[in-house]
Amino acid sequence: MDQATRARYEARARIMKAMAHPARLLMVDELARSGERCVCELTELVGSDMSTVSRHLSLLKNAGLVEDEKRGQMVFYRLRVQCIMNFFECIESVIACNARSQQELLT
């Protein structure tokens, strides 16, 4: 496999990885619904230390999934790409499929 192809999959994986965490997924979901949220609101939502949430956010930003804007002393984050929400539907179908298989194992 050539170098360019390999690089493409690494880039894709970086973006997937940025979302592959419950707290980050939760925040992405919240931003998709609400449009934008400041760090303090997201901190309350997630329930971890603000420094932890801030790190999660900078990771998302680094991946290009969100953008931030400082207004006053607060920093607001919002989604940069809308299509992300399409993921959830598919993920849910995987979960549902897994649940069905679990059921079958019990019978």
Per CB under 7 A, the list member of 3, 5, 51, 102 interacting with DNA is 51
Spatial separation of the C-alpha atoms in residues 107 and 43, rounded to whole Å: 43
Spatial separation of the C-alpha atoms in residues 48 and 65, rounded to whole Å: 21
At which residue do the structure tokens 């997937």 appear?
16
The binder of 81, among its own copies, DNA, none, by C-beta within 5 to 8 A per type, is: its own copies
Only one of the segments 27-35, 51-59, 83-91, 92-100 lies at the binding site for DNA (rule: CB under 7 A); that segment is: 51-59
Of 60 and 84, CB closest to DNA:
60
